[in-house]
Structure 1
């Protein structure tokens, strides 16, 4: 049942994530108007009390706060092409790049709307689930964020990262990139033991514990990047790590494992060492990546 004290919300996009967002707002009593290009996909939310608009423009007219959760940035532009955004607060939770966020902010502002971009750090089952750890990065209009903070916090936690509209996507992609690097290491580790008399379920806790112990290295990397001193606190310097990397490659060869997930980072380490930075840790790889 909707609560008259809760702000109305328009939701554009009722895919898996959009439906999860809409369900959380409905459960909290917000009047929700939804639109989806394929109308049938909006019916589950209609059954829970949402109003289904025939067009995106009609949906936008229903609420000051408009949340887009569509396929991509192009879809956002197409959906809102004929909508009157004057006086609207547009929150874009569609996955995109920092450049997408900045361009869409300029586009929305030019059409009379305030704009906030978002990066969702969750999968749909985490949305609206207490203590799931789900949160959303937001960047753009600080005034919009403060005014709608409570409503935005209903589906997931909120983390405002600045007025630059590209920062939410940048934080999102940076964390996801770190995640995929970890996934690569996990895949390689399991490939090494695959086919041996080592049970994956017995090996997995060892891997989780080791990765957990290594993760705080990110804090040291941040300190070194800010200080400009890449030597302080280094326990295993680059020269030692490069020398030891030969064992990693030989072991992969012996186990019949493609080392393609390891060689890019090992190549960067050798380049940094060749440039005379053997007494550093791996923070200098950041500079190599920035240099191209």
Structure 2
């Protein structure tokens, strides 16, 4: 398979994993991360470390972004990178942003002669490292087809969704379900432990039942070990995505009360100083309930 230069900007868990998969597929990979120390394992594996985000993007026909939020995309892409990109460059943006931000970003890049492929990547850092993600892509279909070699190095499946914004919508849909499930599993643990049931027993029973799912098992392993670093999905990013989903739904006149409640729980984790730990750490934040009423069931009726 023919390979070509690819820049990867943003080396969190997913970005680092995708860079590794691209290297393993034979691509010439240039990397940049604000914290340079995170880049060293990739440099040892053959990547070239750029001095700046702009330097990383200059000369690369494909630039993969894996950034934390809209603020980071704005600051890095438009503040440092876009002016260094040659016309015809394709930016593959795997950052989770709102559909409206995605659509606006595509328009602004097009004005500079740069293509944008919006890539919703589903999986975890371990899957990213081995090229086993699932990629749902949006934008111009010809632009997606033009980077299938890069997307194929990252994934076991590529699906085209249609116009810009749809990949972001799908990613938020996945993540709101993940957030609710993670918060629900944390409350399941709190409920069981409050009644004297051992956490390990509970999680083991769930993992061998019809309630088991790969995503819950992944989060349950953090809770079982009570160790939440390195994070698979940082709490601060979970809270951000749930908030984005709530805001986007409101634009369409839809309320998401369960999502909003889960977002508040993760916000409490962040306030407790644990936002950089995996979102499963919410299991350690036990909400205190008001004391139950002393009345017995049926007292209300008999007093009437």
Shorter chain as normaliser: what TM range?
0.5 to 0.7
Corresponding residue for 1:33? 30
When residues 42 and 198 of structure 1 are mapped into structure 2, their CA distance, relative to the original with a 3 A threshold, is closer
Mapping for residues 93-104 of structure 1, pairs under 5 Å: 93-104=94-105
State how far apart, in whole Å, the 1-side matches of 2:211 and 2:41 are.
41
State how far apart, in whole Å, the 2-side matches of 1:102 and 1:49 are.
35
SS of 1:120's partner is strand
State how far apart, in whole Å, the 2-side matches of 1:96 and 1:185 are.
24
State how far apart, in whole Å, the 2-side matches of 1:45 and 1:126 are.
16
Question: Normalized against structure 2, the TM-score is what?
Answer: 0.61
Mapping for residues 197-212 of structure 1, pairs under 5 Å: 197-204=196-203, 206-207=205-206, 209-211=209-211
Q: Which sections of structure 2, spanning at least 5 residues, go unmatched?
A: 214-286, 291-304
The offset of 1:166, in angstroms, is 0.9
Corresponding residue for 2:109? 108
Q: Which has the higher contact order (CA 8 A, sep 6+)?
A: 2
Question: Normalized against structure 1, the TM-score is what?
Answer: 0.63
Q: Which sections of structure 1, spanning at least 5 residues, go unmatched?
A: 214-255, 260-292
Corresponding residue for 2:167? 168
Mapping for residues 239-278 of structure 1, pairs under 5 Å: 258=289
When residues 33 and 192 of structure 1 are mapped into structure 2, their CA distance, relative to the original with a 3 A threshold, is closer
The offset of 1:38, in angstroms, is 4.2
Note the alpha carbon deviations across 1:99-124, whole angstroms, 9 max, x for none: 22111111111110111112222222
State how far apart, in whole Å, the 2-side matches of 1:15 and 1:89 are.
21
The offset of 1:79, in angstroms, is 2.8
Note the alpha carbon deviations across 1:189-215, whole angstroms, 9 max, x for none: 3333223353333333554535359xx
Note the alpha carbon deviations across 1:113-170, whole angstroms, 9 max, x for none: 111112222222221336x6x3232211211222221321212234434232111111
Structure 1 vs Structure 2 CA RMSD? 2.7
Q: How many residues align?
A: 212
SS of 1:112's partner is coil
The offset of 1:9, in angstroms, is 1.0
